Amino acid sequence: MITGKNYIGFELSAKGTKTYRTFNPKENKENEHTFTEATKDEINKAAQLASKAFKQYRTISGNKRATFLNAIADEIEALGDTLVQTYTSESGLPEGRAKGERGRTVGQLRMFAKLIENDAWREPTIDTAIPDRAPAPKPDLRQLQVPIGPIVVFGASNFPLAYSTAGGDTASALAAGCPVIVKSHPMHAGTGELVASAIIKAAKDTGMPEGVFSNLNSSGIEVGQQLVSHPKVKGVGFTGSINGGRALYDLAAKRDEPIPVFAEMGSINPVIITKKALEKRASEIASTYAGSITLGTGQFCTNPGLILTLESDFTSIFIEDLGEKTANIDSYCMLNPNIHSAFNKKGAEVIEQPETTLVAEYKGNVPDNYAKAKVVTAKGDAFLKNPKLHQEVFGPFSLVVQCKDEIQLLKIIENLEGQLTGTIIAEKEEYSSLSEIIESLQDRVGRIIFNGVPTGVEVCDAMTHGGPYPASTDSRFTAVGNHSIKRWVRPFSYQDFPSELLPEVLKS
């Protein structure tokens, strides 16, 4: 049942006077439930509870924390159709997407549960003493990863489940031994409360300390700012805009005790298509990329927003074909009227530039909040000179840049901001000539896809979901997969400790 209240530890609380509702973008109307924004006192209580819980939770065995994570997964599944219906009414996304994302969320929880069943993930390292070493004895040193403390997780607008209340940030932080305070996303507060209720029930049923999890409502930026500034908070996970992520990063750096902010932000995900590939299979590539550009109404951080290729007659034919195929795919609604408005505004800014040409746009009549997919093109010289062409247009939008030669193409890659992904579409006979492109992309992205599409992020150990700034605030870490747990721990060494006082995994 949705109450509209905050979870402060195990208790529901609504002491504030500021309220708001979520919005159904498909039906273009507000949803029925009213949510109460967390007050300063409620924020402080959640942080204090999390700090107190950390002292106990960090000592709970991996097996018991795994039981907790699996219990969360079970409780999310038990929410059944209520969760799916709430998800669709708050996001406008279809039922199939809701069920798929629920499966990913549950899968991530179970994946981290499996990871922490033993302590290998903590990277225990033992360097035994050499007391008779000359000229100085060597001490006994033993190291492992330890949790850093309470974590604040910001829910993402475009993934109400997999990147939000019990998403990858929360699952990995809880797995690491860190309590979590979620700043619920205002666009899907009902979905967030239902998932929060599942986490709280699992925590109670498995004997976790109160404060291991809290869920706070917020319609603006104030709650998030207060959480990041709170001295009991020791880390932040964020998925969203560059402006939002950078503001949190700067705020955390100004604290008396600065804390890490792991923000996954904007990306236009450059796609390089070789001349030979267009000569051989331009129509196939156009069909594939029309589907990728419009998938999920373009509301993925890995949407292919920039396509780079060389000028040629084949390129001209490809661009027209890509535009026509993209414009012929049925329109669908965006997550929220604000996101729809931003899509139109930013897209118009690109199209209004004198160096760009609108290739094609969805021509049909669309209801409110439905996106009209667009393909735009520009020359390489114009792209290099005009920063407005580099911005992310969040939605079904892609800019095709026609480079005059490979030197210019490499220059464009080298001048891009950091990106989550880069993609190369090429033929086998070209493999030997791709080394410079690969090396240039490697400096700019976190993952390179070969002869595929960037949309779709596999949850596994080898996945890197991050990249040089502003794709993320720390390119050394991934936000997806088991290795994302490393964001919430730090290395800690014991020197010359008696065996009786060492953690079990560090005993000889």
Helix H segments across 328-379?
A: 337-351
How many CB atoms are located within 10 Å of the residue 360 CB?
Answer: 21
Q: State residue 250 phi and psi, 5-degree precision.
A: -65, -40
Calculate helix-pair angle for 80-91, 62-78, nearest 10 degrees: 80
> From CA 154, how far away is CA 224, in angstroms rounded?
8
Question: CB count, 10 Å around CB of 52?
Answer: 17
- Rounded to 10°, the helix 406-414/435-442 angle is 10
- In the set 301, 392, 403, 417, the catalytic residue is 301
**What distance in Å separates the CA atoms of residue 318 and residue 303, rounded to the nearest whole number?**
19
Asked if 65 and 202 touch (Cβ cutoff 8 Å), the reply is no
Report the amino acid identity of residue 366. Answer: V
Backbone angles phi, psi at 30, to 5 degrees: -70, 150
Is residue 127 within 8 A of residue 141, CB to CB? The reply is yes
For 384, the enclosing helix (H) or strand (E) is: helix 380-385
Q: How many CB atoms lie under 10 A from the CB of residue 439? A: 11
Helix 95-115 to helix 80-91 angle (10° resolution) is 120
Q: Is 264 a catalytic residue?
A: yes
181 forms beta bridges with: 152, 214
Going by C-alpha positions, the residue among 240, 228, 229 that lies closest to residue 264 is 240
Give the single-character DSSP code of 243. Answer: H
Catalytic residue among 37, 75, 101, 264: 264
Classify residue 87 as exposed, middle or buried by CB count within 10 Å of its CB (0-12, 13-18, 19+).
buried
Per DSSP, the residues of 115-155 read HTTSGGGG--EEE--BTT-SSSPBPPEEEEEEE---EEEEP
Between CA 451 and CA 96 the distance in angstroms is: 27
- Look at residue 499 and give its three-state secondary structure: helix
Residue 224 neighbours by CB under 8 Å, 6+ apart? 152, 154, 183, 218, 248
Contacts of 6 (CB under 8 A, 6+ apart): 12, 13, 14, 36, 38, 42, 46, 214, 215, 216, 217
DSSP 301: T
Which residues are identified as catalytic? 264, 301
